[in-house]
Chain A
Amino acid sequence: MVQNKTEILIKQIEETAGQLGDVQLMEICGTHTVSLFRTGVKSLLPANVHLISGPGCPVCVTSQGYIDAACELAGRPGMTICTYGDMVRVPGRVGSLEHLRARGAQVVVVYSPRDAVRYAASHPDREVVFLGVGFETTAPATAAAVLEAQREGLKNFSVLTAHKLVMPAMLAMLATGEMRVNGFLCPGHVSIVTGSEVYRPIVQVYARPCVVAGFEPEQLLRGILQLLRQLTQGRAEVENVYGVAVTPDGNPSAQRILEQVFEPADAVWRAMGTIPLSGLELRAAWSDFDARRRFGVIFGKDYDPPGCRCGEVIQGKTQPIECPLFARTCTPATPVGPCMVSSEGTCAAWYKYGRSGTDRAMFHNAGGSRR
């Protein structure tokens, strides 16, 4: 049954794409990147439909200065770092959190910030710092954790925040005028919180179609089909094929809790520099839970590791295969940049799931160091 639906969608995509020349579509979200590979959808698309990954991998857009600061914090006595798994292997100046853990630092992988709060409650002798990374999807959970820590009167829990907002970065990229993207596949998870209307400026100011889609194969294909249809019809509108989960205005209670705990602030994005009001910082009322103020953390300068082109990859300017390090020096076992580390990173997805044909040759030519 599912097979039939996807087959029909693929046929429709082929027909629609046949009326167009080369089309560049950007999937903003890292989960979309991975799903497109993992489900094989990427391999089913016509040759003139190109998918480009955007700045939607939370780890990848985190500035190197933050990574270094987190590592420095992990090295202090009495400190326990609680983090999502993706962050553990990102290389910093003095090694990754994984390496620091091997040398004795306490680094605990958690699935949600509430788990970090629970950890703090059961380990009163430790200073527990949660690495607050991610977009509108994860920020409400961090906010809820701060509220919970306050309710429980915890004195040993704080957050080192690097939360980011998707739209300011998208608009900043579009404003450069260098973006060769015809349309955007917009992230289902983020949109559940923000609502689909948040993409309105992209269609109004930059006349690029936006379609919100979920992560199942049928959703991905439907989203791509609608983008292609808009392009053939010369339209640029916000569409939502993920109506099951996403509403125009989003989730008001998630928005409320964000508003209560965080305020928008300028934020540094990897390789993109400081983007005005594109990040979230704890409001002054919650400064007790702000690890940055509490421990005098200083974020150093952002930089790309030598030779690494992650900065261009996350902006869709470079495909992983164009990076000289990809699959040679930089592999999931020996990552140079964050795009190869995170399970949502574009380079990791290419390396892990790269399909047959050209990719076969690519891996072959990359020196056969895949073992």
Chain B
Amino acid sequence: MNMDWTPGQAAGNDEVVIAHGGGGEQTRRLIAEHVLPKLGNALLAPLMDSAVLTVAAGRIAFTTDSFVVQPLVFPGGDIGRLAVCGTVNDLAVMGAVPQALSLALVLEEGLPFRMLDQVVDSIAAAAREAGVVVATGDTKVIERHRGDGMIITTAGIGVMREGMELSPRRIEPGDRVIVTGRIADHGLAVMSAREGLAFETELLSDVAPLGGLVEAICRAGADLKFMRDPTRGGLAGVVADLADDTGLSIELDEAAIPLSRAARHTAELLGLDPLSIANEGKVVAVAPAADADRLIDACRSHPLGREAAVIGRFTEAQPALVELITRSGGRRVVQRPYGEELPRIC
């Protein structure tokens, strides 16, 4: 590459410029130099208008998600890993085996190429880990100050497993709520790196593809009734939805909910409820009490589920609410958070 400065060219050597989104030579170069070498596969490489996939006959799960995390790189992950895992996990918790992703990159003018490279490397690594291909993609560039460096949208398809019937409607009083590991790490880790909020913490985001863990759960031989990954809104959001959807109450046991000391203290310091903080590598599952042990064993057989625990049960109490039995033996209601959780004053 010519590193000598020549007008109109030099800027494009180390950062994204508007021309990279023009669909011409610069766009082609951007993709050829920064995307294909890392993500290249037989489906993507021809750069046709659509990818053509062959999938097993049956039902297909299809989902999409956009990622706007700030900062782009945070302790334990980055926007690239998040963009792959977020979509893959939405497929997995529906009972599907993730197959392929689309990848739309919206880049802000001025984004350093080394940041783009880091993120694309991370996308490639996460896709390998998740066992999916990036089958099709798109790149656009927007003017400076119109986007926070980079916005990523991924869509994904997965093949549904046979014989799975996941629906809150099947949940009955007595059924158990299970979470596959420590909560709140992701949200707190991202917050710790955010401009204006930076603080020192040992916490790392839990962002990880959940296909393997879900596979283990599905093979446990339990009558699995429901799965969801507790991302935005945290565990509180998922259980509040479950109470609404089933018309049943849920009793959670605070002492049983896996939570690291560091996360507990950080949340305390910020005045946040760990139950409302986002996770990117956990599953909440519901199964009959008789199957709970089997399900826990299956989770613990997988590296991402070592700390899985039964954290609560459904009851008939009305009106339908989620109640937390606290460590001190008291009770309180758990609700879906309002929106963005904000640190308090003192």
Contacts and interface: CB of A to CB of B under 8 A. Distances in A.
A binds B: yes
B329 A111 contact: no
A44 interface: yes
A355 B31 CA distance: 56
A40 B342 contact: no
A360 B319 contact: yes
Contacts of A351: 335
Given A31-B271, A111-B197, A332-B338, A344 B331 contact: no
A353 B324 CA distance: 9
Contact of B331 (A133, A215, A356): A356
B344 interface: yes
Contacts of B333: 352-356, 359, 363
Contact of A39 (B321, B328, B346): B328
A218 B329 CA distance: 12
Contact of A41 (B197, B271, B330, B338): B330
Interface residues on B, range: 20 to 34
Interface residue SS majority, chain B? loop
A40 B346 contact: no
Interface string A192-230: 000000000000000000000001011001000000000
Contacts of A84: 343-345
B324 A110 contact: no
Given A119-B195, A344-B345, A38 B329 contact: no
Given A138-B345, A360-B321, A42 B330 contact: yes
Contact of A116 (B196, B323, B328, B335): B196
A43 B271 contact: no
Closest 3 CB pairs of A and B: A40-B330, A85-B342, A40-B326
Contacts of B319: 360, 363-364, 368
Contact of B329 (A3, A42, A88): A3
A107 B324 CA distance: 35
Contacts of B339: 333
B327 interface: yes
Contacts of B327: 2-3, 39, 217
Nearest to B323: A356
Contact of A2 (B324, B325, B328): B328
A58 to B, nearest CB: 5
Interface of B: 195-199, 244, 268, 270-273, 317, 319, 321, 323-333, 335, 338-339, 342-346
Contacts of B270: 111
Contacts of A31: 271, 344, 346
Nearest to B198: A115
A162 to B, nearest CB: 11
A368 to B, nearest CB: 8
A270 B139 CA distance: 52
B316 to A, nearest CB: 13
Contact of B328 (A6, A88, A133, A359): A6
Of B317, B330, B342, which is in contact with the most chain A CB atoms at under 10 Å from its CB? B330
B273 A38 contact: yes
A217 B325 CA distance: 13
Contact of A189 (B326, B330, B332, B346): B346
A191 interface: no
Given A111-B270, A133-B345, A360-B319, A44 B329 contact: yes
Contacts of B324: 40
A108 interface: yes
Contacts, number: 133
A134 interface: yes
A303 to B, nearest CB: 22
A43 B345 contact: no
A110 B196 contact: yes
Contacts of B329: 3, 6-7, 10, 40, 44
Interface string A84-128: 111111000000000000000000111100011001000000000
Contacts of A355: 323, 330-333
A189 B271 CA distance: 13
Of B198, B273, B331, which is in contact with the most chain A CB atoms at under 10 Å from its CB? B331
Contacts of A7: 329
A254 interface: no
Contacts of B345: 58-59, 84, 86-87, 133-134, 137-138, 342, 344
A370 interface: yes
Contacts of A116: 196
Nearest to A89: B342
A229 B244 CA distance: 44
Contacts of A58: 345-346
Interface in A279-329: none
Given A44-B330, A364-B319, A34 B271 contact: yes
A371 B244 contact: yes
Contacts of B244: 371
A40 B199 CA distance: 29
A221 B344 CA distance: 24
A53 interface: no
A109 B196 contact: yes
A352 to B, nearest CB: 6
A209 to B, nearest CB: 23
Contacts of A332: 338
B331 A43 contact: yes
